[in-house]
Chain A
Amino acid sequence: MQDMAQAFGVALALAGSLDADLVEIVGLSLQVSITATLIACLFGFPLGAILATARFPGRGAVLVVVNALMGLPPVVVGLLVYLHLSRSGPLGFRGLLYTPTAMIIAQTILITPIVAALSRQVLEDLHHEYAEQFRSLSTPRWTAVNALLWDGRFALLTVALAGFGRAIAEVGAVMIVGGNIDHLTRVMTTAIALETSKGDLPLALALGMILLAIALAVNAAVMSLKLTAERHAYA
């Protein structure tokens, strides 16, 4: 118990001193996960909008698959991306394995189904409300989808946040395709795993605290944005 209190103190000092290694690790984590979230939204929002508004044969099957993919185990994603990017894999010639790009690819694959499935739910509720009015106004399909995405923007922000939360917290995929290489592909989660196994609890704890602080800060920001939106009845 005393060890933990001591570690906690050291961790606080470390986090407060903005240790260069620490800043580098946190920076890379944010860079990889924010990029992955943006790309996942680029694909996930339109996919969610199509699933929410279109009726086509096999839609039910697609929904089941997308919902099931929300629970993709990160290590499995990591393994699949590893197989594709490794020297003998189909994309091996690009030499992407053990780079931040590989980590972004893995996290994008991991969270795109989450973004698609959650935005489908959000947009389907909105579509249900708007559909008759859109039909009455002879709204072209593409205009309707754009209007849904715009009017659902605050709810979609929460969806993006859910994706980001999953990306920044996962360790399995980035460990496999990134390799946890110091100064190159080491992110917060892989560093925590490594430092814990080495017994360097203060650094692991400091990183854990920063991870929690980021989660809190992002959630608080989105919450305040949502409250503003609700005050203006835009959510």
Chain B
Amino acid sequence: MLDRAFDSYDASPVEDAIQPPFPLLAARGLCFEAGGARLIDEVDLRLDAFGATVVMGPNGAGKSLLLRLLHGLIAPCAGELLWRGKAMGEAARRRQAMVFQRPVLLRRSAADNIDFALKLHRRADRDRRDMLLQHVGLLEKARQPARLLSGGEQQRLALARALATEPELLFLDEPTASLDPASTQMIETLVLAAKRNGVKIVFVTHDLGQAKRLADKILFLPGGRVAEHAPAARFFDRPTSEAARGYLEGRIVL
């Protein structure tokens, strides 16, 4: 650990003075294959410990797959993941959380869903649970069966459950894809609040407006390869890759 810090210090002393020596999460040569097809191809990536990175790309580009690989839900066929410069293990995984496109809620009350996550991270505590429910506007529905809540409420509950684990890194895989504008706005507000509280956000979306509202950086991923990883303003103003230009103009990209 110390050796590596010195290595990178020697390599670029000026840069290291202003940047932490290791990114929060880094991927090196990440690959994933299924059915003989390479779906994620040699992805190298450095995610800083702050801000929101929005992952964009056409359907079937492997955005969800990349998120699952980064979160350690599936194993890559090659490559490695580094959490603060060290190989990512179970302890690092516990510092991450994920909200899925379709919320998977336990067949219990809203409150019990939060309690489940709190207990896993040994923070079971009624006040904390109520605070989380209050935060996502579901306190008055605490005793209701989670699966009878509306789509937007279910997704907010899933987000509250993810926040219950106090993650440093929060993955969100198209969490608003099937929600109405009002519910979408609530989710975005909550995500921005989490970002302000220092949670690193990695958010997959197809919605350009949403990407502009949330993103500090854009990761553009056509066909399982990173084409661009750039500050949001620059990406939308001057995309460097032909694929990104085509995507932003609504042309078909393959």
Contacts and interface: CB of A to CB of B under 8 A. Distances in A.
B150 to A, nearest CB: 12
B116 interface: yes
Q: Quick one: which of B98, B106, B165 has the most chain A CB within 10 A?
A: B106
B90 interface: yes
A141 to B, nearest CB: 12
A232 B145 contact: yes
Contacts of B100: 132-133, 136
B94 A136 contact: no
Contacts of B145: 232-234
- Interface residues of B: mostly helix, strand, loop or mixed? mixed
Given A232-B148, A234-B107, A138 B73 contact: no
A164 B50 CA distance: 58
A3 interface: no
Interface residues of B, number: 23
A151 B104 contact: no
Contact of A234 (B73, B108, B116): B108
A94 to B, nearest CB: 43
A235 interface: yes
Interface string A116-156: 00000000000001101101111110010001000100000
Contact of B97 (A129, A136, A147, A151): A136
Interface string B82-95: 00000000100110
Contact of B108 (A132, A138, A139, A151): A151
Contacts of B73: 132, 135-136
Nearest to A155: B107
A184 to B, nearest CB: 45
B104 A133 contact: yes
B210 to A, nearest CB: 22
B120 interface: yes
Given A136-B71, A137-B120, A233 B97 contact: no
B186 interface: no
10 contacts: A130-B106, A135-B72, A136-B73, A137-B117, A137-B120, A137-B165, A138-B94, A233-B107, A233-B146, A235-B107
Top 5 nearest A-B pairs (CB, nearest first) are A233-B147, A133-B104, A151-B107, A136-B98, A233-B145
Interface of B: 68, 71-73, 90, 93-94, 96-98, 100, 104, 106-108, 116-117, 120, 145-148, 165
